[in-house]
Chain A
């Protein structure tokens, strides 16, 4: 009687342990370890993300630093270029102004020469006319046109010599 009860009790205890084992295997080592592993993975992922972002930021910083340096250099080059262009432009303008001024001077000289020549002719004509009139009045005789012109030319030549 006692022997069979002992064996029955041992069997029941074994069965009881098996029940606990399967329950805990499912709940404790299934779900809870799953949750722990999921958390661990999540933390690992977060850390790797942070590392990745840190690396990205470092790359970005490096990139921006490089770009800034390039921008400064480019700015310097552009300022230099602009300065050169400005100088060239100023030189061109100066040259052009000088040429224009020279042209204007030349034109003015030419005009003056023309005007002078015109004035000279007019004046000669006027002097001739005037001298003819004066001469007529002095000598009371009328000079013909050819004679008159000859006298004027001689007079002008004398004046020019003076």
Chain B
């Protein structure tokens, strides 16, 4: 642990020195990870390459962890499960129940996507809490300019995937005409058609705002938590290595879980809003689903 703290301190010191020279950095404040450490030990162009592609390395690590766990759990899937299979089944079943609870029985086909989304984000969030590891969800590349703009590549990628997936579901379920009708605010009378020039941009902006909202909510929450931990690690170094960051690590576990959940919840709600609701007898259930979706959106907004 002392090595971890020392490296964190080294990272911050390097960050401070870099800022003093006006140099550009990927993140504003974070603890050092093992790829950066290797890069600094190797040095030269190879070291730079390591540093440059560290996000991909951590992405591969997350994929490997998830792949390994679920491969081990499902390799000999038994009717009477072992501990790992039970744990994985509990997660899978909970996610399935969660998605089906919002989308109804038809939600089962969206569970693999939404469940994977949750597990991927959750693992990425949590892995950053381990010493010498990094959360890709808290990662950003800053674009140079008069106002430096951080681009959180991982959360952007995830939000883009959700955006494209949701639009595809909308077009697939409603048809291209139905989709455009939905985007135009479902005009059925003269007033509706008059409102189309207003409703269409509003819907377009609404749809385009969703990936931005997803991207920055996840990125900012996770990055904020990691900065908090990094600051308290810095304080610990200055206070005879008393681990001040420990309570915040526990807090971060909760935050990581909640943010992964919120991202998944919002994605589920976006899918629910794109699903058709045409049958009269299903109207009650649909309105119930939309009420749930609306309350879920409010809840997610609070987080």
Contact = CB atoms under 8 A, between A and B. Distances in A.
A76 interface: no
Contact of A36 (B93, B112, B158): B93
A21 to B, nearest CB: 5
Interface in A63-84: none
Interface stretch (B2-10, B149-157, B285-293): B149-157
Contact of B141 (A9, A28, A36, A42): A9
A130 interface: no
A123 B157 CA distance: 154
B108 to A, nearest CB: 9
B158 to A, nearest CB: 6
A13 B116 contact: no
B264 to A, nearest CB: 13
A28 B79 contact: no
Contact of A32 (B60, B62, B89, B158): B89
B56 A14 contact: no
Contacts of A108: none
A89 interface: no
B223 to A, nearest CB: 16
Q: Is the interface of B mostly helix, strand, loop or mixed?
A: helix
B59 A16 contact: yes
Size band of the interface chain A makes with B? 20 to 34
B105 interface: no
Given A5-B52, A6-B153, A31-B77, A17 B70 contact: no
Contacts of B63: 16, 19-20, 23
Size range of the chain B interface in the assembly: 35 or more
Given A19-B63, A42-B79, A35 B71 contact: no
B67 interface: yes
A29 to B, nearest CB: 4
Contacts of B79: 35, 38-39, 42
B161 A28 contact: no
B153 A28 contact: no
Nearest to A30: B74
B124 to A, nearest CB: 10
12 contacts: A2-B144, A14-B157, A14-B160, A16-B60, A20-B62, A20-B63, A21-B112, A25-B116, A32-B89, A35-B78, A36-B89, A38-B79
Interface of A: 2-3, 5-6, 9-14, 16-17, 19-21, 23-25, 27-36, 38-39, 42
